[in-house]
Chains A and B, each alone.
Chain A
Amino acid sequence: MSRLHIAFVLELYQPPTQGRETLERITKECYLPLARLLVAEPRLRVTLSFTASLIERLETWGLGDALIGAVAEAVSRGDVELAHSGAYHSVFPLLSDREVRRQIALDRESKDRIFGPTEPRGILPPELCYDDRLLPLFRDLGFRWTLVDDKLLCRFGIPILASEVYRIQGLSVLLRSGFWSDHLRHPRAAGGHWTGRDFAEVMAREALGLQRDAYKVLMLPGETFGHHIPYFQETFLRDFLYALSDHPDLCLSTASELLDGERFAQISPPPASQNGFDALPPSSLSTQVEDWDRGDPYPHFRSRGNPIHQGLWRLTRLILRVTDRLRLDRPELQRLRGLLDPAFYSGQYYHASLWFWDEGPVLEGLDRQMRVLYEYARVTGDSQPLRLGQRIYRRILREVHRRRQTGTKKEAI
């Protein structure tokens, strides 16, 4: 009997600016119930990205003890697999290689400290922001697999694999089911959210016609379960787990387990050099075909024609350019290094997009970036980048004010 292996990949993340009140609420509604579910249900095999930024926030606000203990128990038992990511959830394809390596190293350090030494198995670029350029870097750091959203592949005639896995530059590239992952997060057309049993039935129907084992990777924000959708960890995850007993052709796997043995052959993607990329298109988990056609592979983070995005990235590039010249491991630059690490978290760019416009995170991010430039000027005596940064800062504030005045979000909608 062929089986459909379902891998849930959950990303738990909070930005480095997250306040106590919000984090406390999310912990109560989501993180803690989810962690307790993982401890209570060993059959619930999932891959978890527990980002360093979240660990830091939990520790800062003294909210992590019970949560981290529960996750650690599930991890040590082997039911939960930890995947790595960028410590502060930055948009990898738009950072320098040095900063990407640093973000990953910090994430590993944080996890190793909390959960004991972790093996580099899977790497989830924040928001699944992908670029072929990242693959050799991931491979050099010892990772076996990464995850890419599958929504753009049809646009280029690249098959969405169900029973094989792409192997590119020595790394296994799993495909996130964009359709199902996105569907599960939203109410159904008939009303109400998905239940685990309903979803199991749909998956079982897909499994019916299988000639050989197949897989499906569903990646969702961990906060979906209990925070975005109340009690979803119960009504979906636990319900799904119990429904599996009625569907022997369905099973749960961690992402790494999909690659164990010879179950799924590893193949190369078709040549794609005419499309402006080597193997797979640059994308994020929210990139739609029309975004790509408009020239926006990362539409929520750097959209063409969005002056706030333009300003934020101009500032980011300036900071990367000037700090790239420095040896940041020198003791006198430790503070600069510490400011640089959380400066480029994804939320500031995300909330500058038309769809998710929220000036609070944008301005917080802007200030985080400016702190780097002030510190750079202070420790190096070179204030030119700060002056240029201040000009960019003013332009961004002007655009923020304009958007505030014109209510662009509503118009866009």
Chain B
Amino acid sequence: MKYVNFLFHIYQPPTQDPRVLDRIAEECYGPLSELFIELADLRFSLNIPYSLVEQLQVGHPEVLDRIRRAWAAGTLELTATAAYHPILPLIPENEARRQLAISLEGLRRWLGPGFAPEGVVPPEMAFDGGLAGLLAEAGYRWTVADDGILTHFGRPIPCDWVYRFVGLSVFLRSNYWSNRFANADPIWTDGGRAFRDLRNGLADWMGDGDGYLIISVDGETFGHHHKRLGADFLRQLFTPFRDPPGDIRLTHLADLHANPVFGRREGFIPPSSWSFDPVDIDREGPFASWKARGNPIQAQLWALLDLVRDEVERTGDPGLRGQLDRALYSCTFWYASLWSFDPGQVYKGASLMMEILQAATAWSDRTNALERGERLFRDLVTACEVQRYALSKGPRG
């Protein structure tokens, strides 16, 4: 039997404009959640952090209602994750634990106390050995990492066994198949074509034996990032799984984890994320999209965040603590990378940090800390504006 897991990741940063959320809900979250109800006999996985739940509760409760019903019906598997989408290996362990706890509590308030996921998917699948230990210690039994880094390191990518690393089962997301969806492979003129390619691909890789494949993509890919991959495409893709020609079916990750056919093997998983770039990894590190060596903007952002954390800790104020939790979201750092540079998004996150620092130092009257933050913020803005200017000039001829 060939098992395929579709793990949708849907997320919006805590600073998202409600009008943008409305558009995404209309183009994507609404149709996707309706599909979970419509295809109730199939199995899907969804990774939704509390950050988005919080926003949908305000603006689109009908989407949450459908997701909850699909989860209660057993169609949908919901994984644990971090509340405000921080890059877990890049933040202190106590912050990582706190993010996991906030998300779990938030989803329990929504779904009820029965929500007790065994699996956890870190934001951006940013993963390393330290995080693996932390997740295992928190009681999670499995997680998902991207397989691209294993290819880069020349390590085997399993289809019929599962890595065991630092006390945790680690499933591997297929970078190849996931990115064909994420990039809307142009040869997939409809979902049926994608299904046939997938079925044939699995047969080529696995032969007659049992195996599994994990495809994990931003949910927003379907209908929002790519209009062509909307509900009709997904319906064409998933309908053949209802009565599959051959031994292929959709599954939950928990079922894969429980399936005795797929044994465990101890093995090292290098630090990486699903945005891993083999060209940059040696020079800029495994999490270069958020913290690249030599990126002055990201360096200032992380220094500012450290300062803000210290000052919030000093106040002990729960309101500021809550704001700080939100300020850890990954987009601020992502958009500071050279390849995804968007100063507006950087400023959004950095300004949130400054607002928290201003409030924290108003509380504690620690002018020195505020002045240090102001210097960092100035350097950050200057670095951003310099980069904006450099990019606007384009390549020199």
Contacts and interface: CB of A to CB of B under 8 A. Distances in A.
B386 interface: yes
Interface in A382-413: 386, 390, 393-394, 397-398, 400-401
Contacts of A335: 362
A378 B378 contact: no
Given A375-B362, A390-B351, A397 B381 contact: yes
Which residue of A335, A393, A397 has the most chain B CB atoms within 10 A of its CB atom? A397
Contact of A397 (B351, B355, B370, B378): B378
A363 interface: yes
Q: How big is the B interface, by class?
A: 10 to 19
A367 B355 contact: no
Contacts of A397: 378, 381-382, 385
A50 B381 CA distance: 38
B359 interface: yes
B374 A367 contact: yes
B371 interface: yes
Interface SS of B by simple majority = helix
A235 B310 CA distance: 53
Contacts of A378: 355, 358-359, 362
A401 B362 contact: no
Nearest to A370: B374
A259 interface: no
Contacts, number: 40
A140 B385 CA distance: 47
B212 interface: no
A394 B381 contact: yes
Contacts of B374: 367, 370
B347 A394 contact: yes
Interface SS of A by simple majority = helix
Contact of A398 (B351, B358, B362, B385): B385
Given A394-B347, A397-B378, A374 B385 contact: no
B371 A377 contact: no
B358 A374 contact: yes
B215 interface: no
A397 B384 CA distance: 10
Interface in A201-238: none
B354 interface: yes
Contacts of B386: 401
A393 B382 CA distance: 10
Interface of B: 347, 351, 354-355, 358-359, 362, 370-371, 374, 378, 381-382, 384-386, 389
15 contacts: A366-B378, A367-B378, A370-B374, A371-B358, A374-B354, A374-B358, A374-B359, A386-B351, A386-B355, A390-B347, A394-B381, A394-B385, A397-B378, A401-B382, A401-B385
Interface of A: 335, 363, 366-367, 370-371, 374-375, 377-378, 386, 390, 393-394, 397-398, 400-401
Q: 5 closest Cβ contacts across the A-B interface?
A: A374-B358, A367-B374, A398-B385, A397-B381, A401-B382
